[in-house]
Structure 1
Amino acid sequence: MTDEKTAGKKKADKNSQKQNTVKLPRELALDTLIEILEKGDFSHTLLNKTLKNQKNLTKQDRSFITRLVEGTLERLITLDYILDAYSKVKVKKMKPFIRNLLRMSLYQLKYMDQVPDSAVCNESVKLAEKRGFKTLSGFVNGVLRNIARSSENDILPSEEKDKITFLSVFYSTPQWIIEKWLREYDYNTVKKMLSAQFEEKSYTTIRVNTAMNTSKELAEILKTEGIEVVEGSYLSCALKIREFDSLDAIKAFQEGRFTVQDESSMFIGLIAGIKENNRIIDVCGAPGGKALHAAELLGGTGMVETRDVSDFKVALIQENIKRMGFHNMKAVKKDATVKDEESMDQADIVIADLPCSGLGVIGKKPDIKYNMTEEKQQELVKLQRDILSVVNGYVKKGGTLIYSTCTINPDENLKNVEWFTENYPFQLTSIEDCLPDEFPCASKKEGYLQLLPGVNDTDGFFMAKLKKQL
C-alpha cells in the first residue's frame, strides 16, 4: 500500500472513530434516562446538567432530548406494561441498557407522531450496536416492529373491569398513590389530577421582579428576544413564557428581571402579610423563590434569612440573590431540625415550606412518583412535625408561620396543621383578603389552600397561615 493510501486509510479510520464517540440526541437522552432510572439521580437536575454541558446542541435538539427524557419517565409504567406484553423477556430481566433503549424507543413510537416508526427502529438498532449489544439488536428490532404493527388498546386494562389497574397503567402512576387519592377525592377528580401530569408543558411560569420592571415592561423586553409571553392564570406578577433556548441565555434572566416560580408558591408571599421592616426566616429555602419574593415585597427594608441544610443548596440561594440584586436577603447553612437559640422569638414571619412527598409536582418531576413509597411518606410526616416543633419558636408572639408543601396528601397537609394547632399556641387565620377575588377556594376563610393539578391551573400545593397567640 502506498504512503498516500495508508495516510488516507488512517484519516478515514480516525474520522470513523470520532463519529463513533460523538453522541447524538437519542444517545444523550438514553444515557440521561439510565442515570435517572438505574442510578437514582434526580430527573430535573440531571436533564438540566446534560443540556448545559452540550454547548453545540441546537434548540430543536434540546427540545427533542427534553421531550424524550421527560416523556419516557412520565409514561414508564405504561411503557413497561406494553413491553412485557410483546417481549418474552420481561422488562425487569433485561439488561439496563436494553430496557431503557426499548422504553425510550417505544415512547417515540406511541407518543411522538412526528418521528417515523422506521426511523425509531433503525436508530434503536444502531444505538444497540454502537454500545456493544450487536447480538441483541435483532431482539430490539423485533420487539419494536411488532409493537409498531399493533395497537396497545388491545392489551391495556379495562376501566370497567378494574378501575385502579386501569388508572395505574393508563396514567403511569403506582397503585398505592391512586388508592390513597381515591380515599380522599372522588374518581373524576383523581382522573383530572392524573391526566394533568401529561398536559403540554410548553410554558414556563415566571415571577416578575417588580423592583426592576412591571409585568408589561418585562413582557415587551422578552418579546424583543423572540420569546412568546402570556399572562399568568391568577396573579399580575406572573407571566408564562416559551420559545426560548435556555434560561441562562435570556438577557432579562441574567439581569435579574424575573425568576422561575409556579403561581402556587407565589401565593405564599401574598398570604404572609409582609410589612416593611419585617424580619423573615425561611427555614428550608433552596433555591430561594419564596424568599426572593418576600425580599421584594419588603421594598428594600427588613431582612429575609433563607436557610438550608447543605452547602450546595445555600450556594443555589446565594446565586439567585446575586442575580436578582437584593440586599435585604441572606443565605445561611442551618439544619431546620436543630434549634437555633439566637432565633427564638425573633421572626415576624417564618416560612416553613418543608420537605414532602412532592406528589403535587409529578408533572414537572415525573420520577418522584416511582421513588416515593407509603413508608417514605410517613417518614416525611414525622420530619415535617419535627421541624415544626423547632421552628415555631422563632415566631414572635402575634407573628405568622406559613406552612406549605408541594403535595396533595392530607397526612402531610391539613392533618399536620391540626396536629400543630393542638400542640402549639397557633391558630389558623383567614387568607380571604390576601388572594384574588376570582381565585376559587372554599377554605380561604379557614386559613388554608389545597391546590390540585388539573383542577386549579397550578402545581399541586398546600399552604396554611398560622398566627402565634399573644
Structure 2
Amino acid sequence: MTDRVNTRELILEILLQVTREQEYSHIAIRGVLDKYRYLPKQDRAFILRVSEGTLERLIEMDYMINQVSKTKVNKMKSVIRNILRMGVYQLKYMDAVPDRAACNEAVKLAVRKGFGGLKGFVNGVMRNISRNLSQLHFPDPDKNPLEYLSVQYSVPMWLAEKWTTDYGYENARQSFESFLAPSVTSVRTNLTLTTPEKLKAQLLAEGVTVLENPRVDYGMFLFGYDTLDSLPSFREGKFYVQDTASMLAVEQAEVSENNYVIDVCAAPGGKSAHMAEKLMGTGMVEARDLTPYKVELIEENIRRCRLANMRAVCQDALKPDPDSMEKADIVIADLPCSGLGVIGRKPDIKYRMKPETMEELAALQRQILSVVHNYVKPGGMLLYSTCTVNPQENEENAGWFEKTYPQFRLLAMEQTFPDRFTDGFFTAKFKKENI
C-alpha cells in the first residue's frame, strides 16, 4: 500500500457509492481507478479485487456478520456496515492478507471515517469472525435449498426462487456460480482494420494474455492487462469489447452489402459497430439512443473504430419516426431490460432489481416494439434481444410480438445462460413478409 493514499478508504468509497448512493458498480469502480491510475498496479489490483469481491458476496458477508454481531447488519450505520463487509471478505477470500492486518485496518478505517466510538465494536466483530471462521454455519442445501442458493451465491431469495422455478435448480445454481467466477474481457476483432492473427500478435507484444474464443473465430478473451486505454491496439480501434452472445446475435441478422440498419437503443454501440464492420464500408448503420450522453458514447466508438458507414442519432425509441417507416433492411431492438444475464460483470444488478421492476420493463419492451417494428421494410428483419434471463421479457414478449403483428414471422429464438465466458442473453429473429 502507498503512504499517500489509503487503498481501503478508496474501496469503502466505492462500496458507499454503490450501496448508499445507488451508483452502478462498474461506474463507481472505474471512476476511482481512473482518478488514481497513478497508483502501483498492485494497489489498483487490490482495490478492484476487494471492491468487486465484496459487492459480489454482500449477502454472504451479511449472513456471516449477523452470526456474531448483536447489532444486525441492516441496523448498522452504512459506513460501519461496509467496513465490516470488506473486512470479512478479506478474512475469508484473501489468503495474502493476514487476518491481523484485516482486523487492524478495519478498526483504523472506522476511526479515520469519524467512528472512533465504534472501534471496539468493529474490532470485536472482526476478531470474532477471524477466530471462528471455520465454525460459522451456512444453510443446508438439502434442507433449505433456496436459502442455500441465496447465501452461497449472494443472490436475493426471490431470484433464487424464480430461476429455480423457471429453469430448474441445477441450471439456477450453475448460473449463480458463474457470476462469482473471475471475470474475463471478451473482445471482437475489428476486421476492417486488422485480422485476428495480427491482433493476437500485437496484444501478446503488449503483454496481454490472450485466449481464443472457440465460438467466434474473430473473438478472443483478454487477461492480465492494467487498463484498456493503456493498450495501443485498443486506442487504434483494432478491437471492441463485446460479449460472445452479442456477437452471435449480430451474426443471426444476416447483414448484406448496402443494407440500411437501424439500432434503436444502441449505446454504447457494440452491435451497431459490429454491423457496420460486417458491411465492409457499404450501406449505413444508424445507431440511436435517448440522450446526448449516450449518443456521445456511440460517437466515441465510431471515431475509435474509424467507421464511415455508421452514424449516431439522438432519438427516443418510444416516439414514432415517420421518416423511417419501412426503410430499414434490419432493425436491432436490443431493449432496456432487467440485465440479469450480466450480473457477473455488474453485481449490483442482483440487489437493485425487483420483480415489479421486471414487469414494468417487459411492458416497456412491448411499447418500444410497437413503434420500431414499423421501420422494417417488407422482406426485412427485426432482431429483438435482451441481456437477461427472464421468460416474461424474453419468450413471452417474442410470442406476444408474433401474435400481435402477424406480418412478422419468427425464424429463430434462443436463450443462453451465463457462464464464465458468456453473458445470459436472449435473441428472437423475425422476418417481415412481403404482403
Length-normalised TM-score, structure 1: 0.90
Shift of residue 98, structure 1, vs aligned partner:
0.5
SS of the residue corresponding to residue 165 of structure 2 reads helix
Alignment RMSD (CA, Å): 1.5
In structure 2, the residue matched to 1:101 is 83
In structure 2, the residue matched to 1:347 is 328
In structure 2, the residue matched to 1:62 is 44
In structure 2, the residue matched to 1:418 is 399
Shift of residue 22, structure 1, vs aligned partner:
4.2
In structure 1, the residue matched to 2:308 is 327
Shift of residue 123, structure 1, vs aligned partner:
1.0
Shift of residue 70, structure 1, vs aligned partner:
1.0
Q: Out of 48, 73, 76, which is 2:55 matched to?
A: 73
- In structure 1, C-alpha distance between the alignment counterparts of 2:155 and 2:50, rounded to whole Å: 18
In structure 2, the residue matched to 1:451 is 416
* 1:117-158 Cα shifts (integer Å, max 9, x gaps): 111011111111111111111111110010011136632111
* 1:227-246 Cα shifts (integer Å, max 9, x gaps): 11110131011011111110
In structure 2, the residue matched to 1:14 is none
- In structure 2, C-alpha distance between the alignment counterparts of 1:69 and 1:309, rounded to whole Å: 31
Bigger Rg, which one: 1
- In structure 2, C-alpha distance between the alignment counterparts of 1:153 and 1:237, rounded to whole Å: 49
- The answer to whether the 8 Å contact 1:336/1:391 transfers is yes
Shift of residue 428, structure 1, vs aligned partner:
4.4
Q: Out of 191, 208, 211, which is 1:230 matched to?
A: 211
Shift of residue 271, structure 1, vs aligned partner:
0.5
Shift of residue 388, structure 1, vs aligned partner:
0.3
Query: CA 1:382 to 1:102, structure 2 compared with 1: closer, same or farther past 3 Å?
Result: same
Shift of residue 187, structure 1, vs aligned partner:
1.3
Q: Out of 158, 176, 185, which is 1:176 matched to?
A: 158
- The answer to whether the 8 Å contact 2:186/2:421 transfers is no
- In structure 1, C-alpha distance between the alignment counterparts of 2:86 and 2:215, rounded to whole Å: 36
In structure 2, the residue matched to 1:286 is 267
* 1:102-122 Cα shifts (integer Å, max 9, x gaps): 001111111112111111011
- In structure 2, C-alpha distance between the alignment counterparts of 1:308 and 1:182, rounded to whole Å: 35
Which 5+ residue runs of structure 2 have no aligned equivalent? none
Which 5+ residue runs of structure 1 have no aligned equivalent? 1-18, 431-446
- In structure 2, C-alpha distance between the alignment counterparts of 1:22 and 1:356, rounded to whole Å: 42
Query: CA 1:402 to 1:153, structure 2 compared with 1: closer, same or farther past 3 Å?
Result: farther
Whether 2:430 is the aligned partner of 1:466: answer yes
- In structure 2, C-alpha distance between the alignment counterparts of 1:402 and 1:147, rounded to whole Å: 51
- In structure 2, C-alpha distance between the alignment counterparts of 1:93 and 1:241, rounded to whole Å: 42
In structure 2, the residue matched to 1:247 is 228
Whether 2:112 is the aligned partner of 1:130: answer yes
Shift of residue 55, structure 1, vs aligned partner:
2.8
Shift of residue 457, structure 1, vs aligned partner:
4.2
- In structure 2, C-alpha distance between the alignment counterparts of 1:314 and 1:59, rounded to whole Å: 32
In structure 2, the residue matched to 1:365 is 346
* 1:229-271 Cα shifts (integer Å, max 9, x gaps): 1101310110111111101111010000001011110012210
SS of the residue corresponding to residue 193 of structure 2 reads coil
Give the share of equivalent positions with the same residue, in percent: 49
SS of the residue corresponding to residue 407 of structure 1 reads coil
Shift of residue 426, structure 1, vs aligned partner:
4.3
- In structure 2, C-alpha distance between the alignment counterparts of 1:342 and 1:175, rounded to whole Å: 47
In structure 2, the residue matched to 1:5 is none
- In structure 2, C-alpha distance between the alignment counterparts of 1:183 and 1:421, rounded to whole Å: 25
Q: Out of 277, 293, 314, which is 1:312 matched to?
A: 293
SS of the residue corresponding to residue 410 of structure 1 reads coil
Shift of residue 429, structure 1, vs aligned partner:
4.8
- In structure 1, C-alpha distance between the alignment counterparts of 2:297 and 2:9, rounded to whole Å: 29
Shift of residue 101, structure 1, vs aligned partner:
0.5
Shift of residue 23, structure 1, vs aligned partner:
3.1
| Counterpart AA for 2:171 | T
- In structure 2, C-alpha distance between the alignment counterparts of 1:274 and 1:333, rounded to whole Å: 23
Query: CA 1:111 to 1:426, structure 2 compared with 1: closer, same or farther past 3 Å?
Result: farther
Shift of residue 207, structure 1, vs aligned partner:
0.5
- The answer to whether the 8 Å contact 2:409/2:433 transfers is no
Whether 2:284 is the aligned partner of 1:266: answer no
- The answer to whether the 8 Å contact 2:252/2:429 transfers is yes
- In structure 2, C-alpha distance between the alignment counterparts of 1:464 and 1:114, rounded to whole Å: 46
| Counterpart AA for 2:126 | L
- The answer to whether the 8 Å contact 1:428/1:464 transfers is no
